[in-house]
Amino acid sequence: MFGLIIFGSLIGVVCNIGVGQQQVPEPHTGYRRFGQELLSKLANCLAFVMGYLYIKKKGKLASSEEAPVVVIAPHFSFMDGIFCVAIGHLTYISRDENNHVPIFGHMVRLLQPISVKRSKRSAKEETVKEILRRARAKGRWSNICVFPEGTTTNGQSLITFKPGLC
């Protein structure tokens, strides 16, 4: 497990050379896109090593052109993010602090999440604008995974969805 995480981090470091800490306004192409796909495969391997022998999918994920936003609930652990990457390289909304976590931050930045700077008053509006911008890009970005609860729970029940995108 540790080896997979270190390998994923190295992929993130190499692919993020020259990108910086800011959000990239366009989807990655070339070797960076290949790095994203490789991280998706590593997420599958990581889930397997952690005991999730098979991630069962029901139905077929719609293309990002047909359904740019995918709503998933309930959100109850960091593993949800790994599954989002593993089942089809869904992008997600993440607090900005995750971009700076040692080892994991490189992978997070390579996956191009929509980063929320929770310390800013205008963070909610900026996040909604970025979701809409990516959704209107006609399939250029991958599907955006949204957990409408806005936080993690124990997974036993749903809590009130946060207003904003709807």
Total domains in the chain come to 1
- Is residue 166 one of the residues assigned to a domain? no
DSSP state of 53: -
Residue 114 φ then ψ, to 5°: -85, 110
Sign (positive/negative) of CA torsion 38, 9, 113, 31? negative
- Is residue 15 one of the residues assigned to a domain? yes
- Is residue 152 one of the residues assigned to a domain? no
Determine the structural domain holding residue 22 and report its residue range: 2-146
Quote the pTM value.
0.78
pLDDT tens digits, 81-140: 777 777 777 888 888 888 889 989 899 889 888 888 888 888 888 888 988 898 888 888
Distance CA 40, CA 90 (A): 9
